[in-house]
Amino acid sequence: MIVLGIESTAHTFGVGIFDENRGIVGESRKNYIPNKGGILPREVAQFFSEVAGNAIKEAISKANISIDDLDGIGVALGPGMGPQLRVGASVARALSVKYNKPLIPVNHGIAHLEIARYLTKMRDPVILYVSGGNSIVTTYVDGRYRVFGETLDIALGNLLDTFAREVNLGPPYIVNGNHVVDLCAEKGKFMKGFPYIVKGQDVSYSGLLTHAIRLKKQGYNLNDICYTLREIAFSSISEVTERCVAHTNKKEIILTGGVAANKLLNEKLTKMALKQGASYMPVPFKYSGDNGVMIALTALYELKYGIKIDPEKAYINQRWRIDEVDIPWYYLTI
Ligand code: AMP
Ligand code: MG
């Protein structure tokens, strides 16, 4: 089976092609990078509609196949931002109808989890999924990924990006693979008095963000603020992940999502895993951020279990949670 996947939930229009026999065979990514400020959904959607055609052509030509060779079209229908999701959904629906291929609905979060399991070969892990829009500690129990803990307000990536924007460190937020908050933190030291918020199994970051911005306005050293902000943000989410490992007694831990590229977070999780007697791996950097390959892989798993959707009913769902999705393919190995 060969499946094409389309990703368009936030800032990346991605197309990936996954072949059951050959693995990852082709992909293309078009990233929207704002000149200043945050992401304006309508502008990104406009950009996505301009690049979609070429992205699809590029991925197909890299895979050295023709559209007729495909067994299905997968598309991320959520969670994400409405205008961008609608572009991916329209493109996928059109391809499905024109070429008479099954349309497969993919949850973007599940796709981050599946690409991480596939590439790390860790089959039954506790997964920390941290990106621009999500911060979730999850693991599979009885047919679904269960949310063990999550952010009560903003996501970890969003915390770092918003802080950077508010204090004029970015955009761009990533320089040579490092977040600008990390670069700024290099010369910093720990400050007292920041809110470290873990409620039950959940973390909260908005108080931390407000506190950090306030200190900057009051003239405190920005290096120290960055150092402390990331220290607290990473420690609290690592603490929740550790509790999940201790509770479930699972022996594998993986990190996925855009923030998986972060060195300090990786160090913290490596130490924690050692303490818990578990093995730890981040998803390889190339597939930590949003991409079409993870959508294609997940769609292929789904297609094997007959999961597809009528193009006329393929609505987007901006708030589609990972624990709403049945995972019948969990023990399947490809
Ligand atoms: P995603 O939404 O999965 O594509 O992830 C994008 C998020 O990952 C953004 O918030 C980025 O700032 C964040 N990100 C990317 N690289 C890094 C890094 N090295 N350290 C921390 N955050 C990062
Ligand atoms: Mg993502």
Please report, in tens digits, the pLDDT of each residue of the chain (334 residues total): 999 999 999 999 999 999 999 999 999 999 998 877 777 999 999 999 999 999 999 999 999 999 999 999 999 999 999 999 999 999 999 999 999 999 999 999 999 999 999 999 999 999 999 999 999 999 999 999 999 999 999 999 999 999 999 999 998 999 999 999 999 999 999 999 999 999 999 999 999 999 999 999 999 999 999 999 999 999 999 999 999 999 999 999 999 999 999 999 999 999 999 999 999 999 999 999 999 999 999 999 999 999 999 999 999 999 999 999 999 999 998 8
- On whether both 277 and 142 belong to a single domain, the answer is yes
Provide the domain count of the chain: 2
- On whether both 6 and 91 belong to a single domain, the answer is yes
Is the CB of residue 235 less than 8 Å from the CB of residue 268? yes
According to the model, what pLDDT value does residue 229 have? 98
| Within a domain: 157 | yes
| Within a domain: 329 | no
| Within a domain: 54 | yes
User: In this structure, which residue's CA is closest to atom 3 in ligand 1?
Assistant: 258
Cα–Cα dist 204/122, whole Å: 29
Distances (CA, A) of 10 to 120, 142, 278, 295, 313: 25, 30, 33, 14, 22
* Ligand 1 pocket mutation, candidates 158, 256, 259, criterion most atoms within 8 A of CB: 259
Cα–Cα dist 309/111, whole Å: 17
- On whether both 45 and 155 belong to a single domain, the answer is no
Please state whether the predicted TM-score (pTM) of the whole model is above 0.95. yes
- On whether both 262 and 206 belong to a single domain, the answer is yes
| Within a domain: 255 | yes
| Within a domain: 330 | no
- On whether both 313 and 243 belong to a single domain, the answer is no
- On whether both 150 and 252 belong to a single domain, the answer is yes
- On whether both 271 and 143 belong to a single domain, the answer is yes
- On whether both 106 and 245 belong to a single domain, the answer is no
User: Quick one: residue 264, left, alpha or beta (phi over 0 = left, psi -120 to 50 = alpha)?
Assistant: alpha
Cβ-in-10-Å burial (0-12, 13-18, 19+) of 211 comes to: middle
Nearby residues for ligand 2 (ion, Cβ within 5 Å): 131, 290
Q: Taken in order 9, 11, 15, 20, is the CA torsion positive or negative? A: negative
Tokens encoding 4: 């094409």
Distances (CA, A) of 84 to 175, 262, 316: 25, 26, 10
- On whether both 259 and 147 belong to a single domain, the answer is yes
CATH of the domain at 71: 3.30.420.40
State the residue range of the domain holding 52: 2-112+288-324
Q: Which ligand is nearest to the CA of 107?
A: 2
| Within a domain: 204 | yes
- On whether both 192 and 275 belong to a single domain, the answer is yes
- On whether both 103 and 161 belong to a single domain, the answer is no
Cα–Cα dist 281/41, whole Å: 33
| Within a domain: 269 | yes
Stretch (H or E) spanning 35: none
Is the CB of residue 5 less than 8 Å from the CB of residue 301? no
- On whether both 270 and 144 belong to a single domain, the answer is yes
* Atom from ligand 1 closest to the CA of residue 133: 2
Is the CB of residue 20 less than 8 Å from the CB of residue 30? no
H helix intervals, the chain: 41-63, 82-99, 108-120, 156-166, 180-185, 206-217, 222-248, 263-276, 292-304
| Within a domain: 195 | yes
Cα–Cα dist 299/307, whole Å: 8
Ligand 1 in contact with 240 (CB < 6 A)?
Answer: no
